[in-house]
Every structure is written in C-alpha cells, then in structure tokens.
Amino acid sequence: MAFELTAADYAEYIKKAYALIHENGDYVTELDLATGDGDHWSNINMGFEKLVENSEKLAGMSVSDELKEIGKIMMAVIGGSSGVLYGSAYLAAAKSVKGKETLGKKELCDVLEAMLNAIISRGQAQEGFKTMIDSLAPAVKEYKKCLEEDTDDKTLCERVKKAAVDGAENTKNMEAVRGRATYQANKGVGHLDPGAVTMSYQISVLMDCVMEKLA
C-alpha cells in the first residue's frame, strides 16, 4: 500500500491517540503534579475526546479542512495555553496542505513542520525549553532527514517515532524555561515534561497508523 492518509484515516488516528492519552491519565497527571499544576492531562484528554465525538464529521472532509476544524475544536475546548498552542498548530497545518484531499509522505512532513513552527512562534519557546517542542522538533528533523536520504517508508516511520519518544525522554535532564517548573529550585530537572510525553504519544500513534496502511 502507498504512504497516504485520507481524512478518514486521520480521524481514525485521532481515536487511537485519544485512547493512548486517556489510558495514561494517572501517569501524565503524576508527571504534571511534579512540575506543574496537574491539569495538562485533563485538558488534552478533553480536547481529544471532543475530536472523537466529531470524528464522523471530520472523516467526511478534505484533509486540509479536517485539520482546520481540528484546530478550531482544540482552541475552543482545551483550557490554558495548550488550547492556543494546539489550535494554532492545527490551523497552521491546514494552511500548509491547503486544498489537499489526502496526505502523502511529503505532505505529512509539511503538516508536522507547520505545527512545530506555529507552537514555537505562539509559545515563544524553542527546543531545549522542556516543552512539547522537545518531542516534536526531533521528530520533524528526523522526518526531513529521512526524506533527504530517500529512506523506505517503514524505516522512516520507525525513525520518526523513536525521535519523538527519545526527545520526550530527554526532557528529564532539562531545566524548564517556561511554566511553573521554573519556580522550583531544581527547575524540574529529574522529571519528564508531560507535554512532551503526550506529544510523543501522538507522533508514535500517527507513525503506527501509517505503518498499518503500508502493511
């Protein structure tokens, strides 16, 4: 099968990402309570729950319209800064593939890169600040590298997934530059960033969904 995601495929991905985020609620909240105010999981879970409720509607759109609608829902439903960041990310992603009915290998990279740039711009943050960027940025870099090297599809998915997971894991040794963890004496060092962890869940599931289509 070809490397291609339809709107229906992306809606299916959303369901699977929600399931993984939902089942790790206690773990993510525990991470967040160590460095933040403990509401990251409830906010992100609420956003994905609403997307799942709208999955049938999303599946019937073009991919660009679907991403735009996801952005609007995220911005309306998720509380705190996460809603603004995720909303902005998906609206930027929609613009990057405007008019596209499906996502191929290059388009999916464009989507992730547009999301990354929007989060960096809107959040006034960058890689190394102990945020979700620390999972997404390495994944985008690895994806672009794989495209340059003309890596086979399955290997690309595995490498992007590993980059996202490793990136989240690396936040354990970082000092926070944003958020409540900056007020702690240790700046959150020794703790994983919950935003990076939930981002790694999403990228992992997304790559798994692509690999399922390739099988």
Instruction: Per residue of the chain (215 residues), give pLDDT as tens.
Output: 679 999 999 999 999 999 999 999 999 999 999 888 899 999 999 999 999 999 999 999 999 999 999 999 999 999 778 999 999 999 999 999 999 999 999 999 999 999 999 999 999 999 999 999 999 999 999 999 999 999 999 999 999 999 999 999 999 999 888 666 666 667 779 999 999 999 999 999 999 999 999 98
Residue 133, helix vs strand vs coil: helix
Rounded to 10°, the helix 80-96/63-77 angle is 170
Total domains present in the chain: 1
pLDDT at 179: 67
CA quadruple 108, 110, 111, 113: dihedral sign: positive
Domain holding 207: CATH number? 1.25.40.340
Look at residues 203, 206, 52 and name the one whose alpha carbon lies nearest to residue 132: 203
pLDDT at 188: 78
pLDDT at 42: 95
pLDDT at 215: 83
Integer Cα distance of 11 and 58 in angstroms: 6
C-alpha distances (whole Å) from 109 to each of 82, 119, 156, 194 are: 22, 15, 11, 24
**Which range of residues forms the domain containing residue 39?**
7-214
Position 21 in a domain: yes
100-125: b (≥16 Cβ within 10 Å) or e: bebbebebbbbbbbbbbbbbbebbeb
Position 1 in a domain: no
Integer Cα distance of 8 and 21 in angstroms: 20
C-alpha distances (whole Å) from 51 to each of 11, 19, 55, 187 are: 8, 12, 6, 34
Integer Cα distance of 211 and 215 in angstroms: 6
pLDDT at 90: 98
pTM: predicted TM-score of the whole model, two decimal places:
0.96
Position 2 in a domain: no
Contact 80, 39 (CB under 8 A): yes
Structure tokens at 212: 């399922």
